[in-house]
Amino acid sequence: MTAIESARPRPRAFWGDARFFLGILLIAASVVGVWFVVSASRQTVPVFAATRTIVPGETVADDDLRLVDVSLGQLEDSYLTAEALEGGLVATRTVAEGELVPQSAVGAAAAAATTTVVLHSAVEVPASVEAGSVVEVWEAPLIEHGSYDVPRILVADATVVSVTRDDSMIGGGAASLEVVIPRADVAAVLGAMADESALSVVPTVGAAQ
């Protein structure tokens, strides 16, 4: 062995290089991070979904809901839980069948600002009108037998609970509707009924079904 060969430094073992250990730490950290992400995505919580279409003003009962396990992450507190039902709740907006029920879609029953009434439509109700439809209620005041005044809007924003259509020849296509209306409109609606005004419903253009 020459003097030059003996003076040449020997290469260090790869496990003695700090970069080797740093790489190992980075790989381990990546694996742990992925594991936490996958574990979090697999965690589910039970929340309520509607078993039928629930409209504003209706009481939300146990039979109207079913528990489903879903992964919500940080949104868990935004949806209805079993504990919230104990105080008595009503819907504040339409909740479609199968939809998860947000906390914002229900309110305390004591604070309900709406109620339901049954209307008899003097004309045929459009086929598109069904439970959950938002409609206008129109009134044509009775002047004398068989004569009515110009129709006008009686309730600008009502939500249909149910529709019973009479398709018989005698019925002439008229229908009976249970609708949710603001309590402030109750007196006017009952007055129109008592005065035998002709009532009809018109779907609100662009309203969510």
Within a domain: 13: no
* Virtual torsion, Cα 15, 20, 22, 28, nearest 10 deg: -90
Domain boundaries, position 190: 113-203
Distance of alpha carbon 66 from alpha carbon 131, whole angstroms? 20
Asked whether 131 and 161 are in contact (CB, 8 A), the reply is yes
- Give yes or no: residues 105 and 119 share one domain: no
Give the other-Cβ count within 10 Å of 78's Cβ.
12
Query: Which residue type sits at 136?
Result: E
Count up the domains in the chain and report the number: 2
114 touches 57 (CB < 8 A) = yes
Give the tens place of pLDDT for each residue, 155-189: 999 999 999 987 654 545 678 999 999 988 999 99
pLDDT at 208: 46
Per-residue confidence (pLDDT) for residue 17, from 0 to 100: 60
Q: CA-CA distance, 174 to 193, in Å (whole number)? A: 16
30-64 pLDDT, tens per residue? Answer: 776 665 555 555 577 788 899 999 888 888 888 89
Both 76 and 130 in a single domain? no
8 A C-beta contact, residue 138 and residue 154: yes
State if pTM tops 0.85.
no
Query: Whole-angstrom Cα distance, residue 181 to residue 93?
Result: 12
Which CATH number do you get for residue 89? 3.90.1210.10
- Residues 118, 197: one domain? yes
